Amino acid sequence: MFRAALIILFCILMPSAVQAQDHQLFIGAPARVCEAVPGQGAPTDFSADGCYEALFYKVDPQGREIWVEHVFEAKPSLLSSDKPLGLFVSAKASSAAFLNGVPLGSNGTPGPSPSSEVAGDMDAVFFVPEGTLRAGQNRLIMQMSSMHGAGALDTPIHVVALAPYRDPRKPGVGTWIAIVTFGLFLGAFVFFGVSALRGKERELSATIAIASLAIALQLAGEAMRDLTPYPYPLHVWRLTAILAFAMIVGLSLFSYVLQLLFKPFATRRYAAVAVVLAVMLISAALTAGYDYKTQLSLIAATVAAGIAGLLAGWQGDRRGWWVAGAAAMLVVLIRWLGGMFLDLYIYYMMAALLLWLLFRQARRGGTGAEQDNAAAEPEALQRIELTSSGKVEFVDAVNIIRFSGAGDYVEVLLSSGRSSLYNGSLAALERELPASFIRVHRSHIVNASLVTSLVRDSAGTGQLLMSDGSEVPVSRRNLASVRDALTRN
């Protein structure tokens, strides 16, 4: 799987004509590795004691200086090509290359210590003079060292290949698509940022704005490699930044789901986000490989969103089942696509999600005067949708005295004295009610504007007297919050 991902990555970096056949990858081929001896040149005998064989992508020059030999037969398409050739090297290391005894050049200066090494770029190409590559056996020798930069990678060598010579950072079609997508993310950040400042759903809009900015910065970190050269010591910092932005994206989406399904429970929502963040940090600390760290962080947020969806679904909120199903599918995609999800599909997914949210927000009035007027509308004029046996009834909130749990149903008592049973649960209904309704007991929700008095019992519980003369119990756990809510209302 990893080797396939590397091949795909290299093919993306090459122009379409090269992708067909005019390149030869060495990254998955066996090579001989020898530790460099200070003061000596390349080993004359790579089979000597102390040398060993390893696949190219498993060769590790971090913290040392090494020599690597690879013997190969050139592809006929390269030998017959009329284009100049280049040796493409992508590695967290400084390097020098020799093909059949001909020096191809150096990327930085390899050395046995930080003071003697000059750090090279993360991506480099060495020009191969005409006639250097020949039919039959060819001998590639590379001197490599990696003495700078914080942190270490499991696979510091990403690409070693022969192909027609070109600038490894020449933007392609994928780069321009990334730039357009980056613009979309920034546009969403501005739109929802303004919505957070002016709109009614400030927390929800702010969460989307944060997710938009984080995914934009994550994409910028990914696209940076195609647009500008940078020395290899910065590579770990770049990967760390991408991981951090991915964590913020995952946490923002999880927070968005919680706000949709459990809006009244702010403290619990914040605690759940904190728990998921702790899981992300622990998994990142214990896991090797930045791709795996990022995958696990996104999976942690997605699984948590799925659990939240299941809880909401069991409490009667049908949206929860949709959230749980989408989360399960996303976990499968992240694990199945692996690096391709992180490099490509996450940006397509976020672009589609933000376009849908922009369209949804526009239909609801955007951030202009209509939304401001809606925010100023008295809660008493809001209407509550109630369903019973396929019949939907809309009731003005001002006419509802209280809701009481009745098994699998909810009993609604109206100011007219009429009461009816409706489908659903109190937990699901609570999330849809305006702020004037408060949960006073596990079995009761009341209209705070119709409470006449609150009496505290010696046992620590309480009793509410409603405007119609009925009494509603207040649980010991809810007494303080009920008192505060009645004071605000």
How confident is the model at residue 483, as a pLDDT?
A: 81
The angle formed by the CA atoms of residues 462, 467 and 470, to the nearest 5 degrees, is 55
Q: What's the pLDDT at 223?
A: 83
Quote the pLDDT of residue 372. Answer: 43
Helix axes 290-314, 235-261, angle to 10 degrees: 0
- Tally Cβ neighbours within 10 Å of residue 459: 7
Beta-strand ranges (E) seen in 108-255 are 123-128, 137-145, 157-164
* pLDDT of the residue at 381: 46
Query: For the segment 70-100, what is each residue's pLDDT rounded down to a tens digit?
Result: 999 999 999 988 899 999 999 999 999 999 9
Q: Residue 70's pLDDT is what?
A: 95
366 Cβ contact partners less than 8 Å away, ≥ 6 residues apart: 195
Angle between helices 318-337 and 235-261 (to 10 degrees): 160
Which residues, at least 6 apart from 244, have a Cβ–Cβ distance to it below 8 Å? none
Contacts of 419 by beta carbon, 8 Å cutoff, 6+ apart = 411, 412, 413
Give residue 10's pLDDT.
Answer: 42
Residues in the chain: 489
Check residue 32 and give its pLDDT.
Answer: 95
**What contacts 33, CB < 8 A, 6 or more positions away?**
51, 52, 53, 54, 59, 66, 67, 68, 69
Could you tell me the pTM of the whole model?
Answer: 0.70
* pLDDT for the residue 266: 81
pLDDT at position 391 is 73
Q: What digits encode the pLDDT tens for the residues 317-355?
A: 788 899 999 999 999 999 888 778 888 888 989 988 888
The list of the chain residues with pLDDT below 70 reads 1-21, 169-172, 174, 199-200, 316, 362-382, 387-390, 488-489
Neighbours of 457 (CB within 10 A): 12
pLDDT at position 301: 95
Give the CA radius of gyration of the chain.
31
